[in-house]
Amino acid sequence: MEFTHFNNAGYARMVDVSEKNDTVRVATAQAVVHMQPSTLAAIKGGGVKKGDVLGVAQVAGVMAAKQTSNIIPMCHPLMLTSIDIAFETDEADSRIVICCQVKTTGKTGVEMEAINGVSIAAMTIYDMSKAIDRWMTITDIMLLEKSGGKNGSVKRLEAQLD
């Protein structure tokens, strides 16, 4: 496999995608925030003093996906056509699973935007809840699937999640 983010002199560069075809591109990523059961109950019940934790985390994740090229140096600025952040509360394991799906029609994929979206949504949950649970952990930040482009569709296998 060849790295494409280096020029002939060995310096970093943004890849030239001008010859690629525009295709519909979709990527879905996830992150998991583990916490104490009482913290999860406070988030679900609106008992966190900073406000609606999941509402704010959703807006933060959308904003982060839109700003990815401003913080990841070699990412292309993209016109995103859709960003959706979803939260699944899991009381049995005392965690929140976050998924971010990002779409565009263009010459390059949106994997980084989806990963950035879930990462910042997870960090926002931590930030808003840390006063009651400083030892929350953020894990399993990963791409789940992507479609579009010359490589087509790929999906992470369940075995890869373990």
Token pair in block for residue 84: 């959706």
Give the integer Cα–Cα distance in Å for 113 and 111: 5
Residues 107 and 20: beta-carbon distance below 8 Å? yes
Give the 3-state DSSP-derived string for 91-114, with helices as H, strands as E and coil as C. Answer: CCCCEEEEEEEEEEEECCCCHHHH
Q: Mapping DSSP to helix (H, G, I), strand (E, B) and coil, where does residue 6 land? A: strand
Chain-centroid distance, C-alpha 60: 11
127 tagged catalytic: yes
Q: Which among 84, 90, 93, 127 is annotated as catalytic?
A: 127
The residues annotated as belonging to the active site are 127
